Amino acid sequence: MAPETASKWYGVYKEAYAVTPSDAATFKTTRALYVGGQGGDVNVQMANGNTVLFGAVAMGSILPVGVTMVYSTSTNATEIVRLY
């Protein structure tokens, strides 16, 4: 069997963690966020420190964004997952 190559895994998420929105807790920079429950607004801190409100995100959406925080303030989407 041939060894696995990096190109085989390009674009594939290898880790996923549930998000508990918080105005204080940070995490390592994501590759994307998944909104699995109720759609709605997702208020985040981007990797560069900017705060961005993604409005009316549909259920089942993947946001390909590097974020370090999902704020509880102004976030009403549910079942958000961090993807790496």
pLDDT of 28 > 60? The answer is yes
Q: Is the pLDDT of residue 5 over 80?
A: no
Band of pLDDT at residue 9, cut at 50, 70 and 90: low
Residues 35/79, Cβ–Cβ less than 8 Å: yes
Query: Does a structural domain hold residue 50?
Result: yes
The pTM assigned to this predicted structure is 0.86
The 10s digit of each residue's pLDDT in 69-84 is 999 999 999 999 999 9
Q: Are 68 and 28 in contact (CB under 8 A)?
A: yes
Residue 75 included in any domain: yes
**Residue 74 φ/ψ region, left for φ over 0, alpha for ψ in the -120 to 50 degree band, beta for the rest:** left
Q: pLDDT tens-digit profile of 41-74?
A: 999 999 999 999 999 999 999 999 999 999 999 9
Domain residues for the domain of 43 are 15-83
What's the structural domain count of the chain? 1
What pLDDT score was predicted for residue 59?
Answer: 97
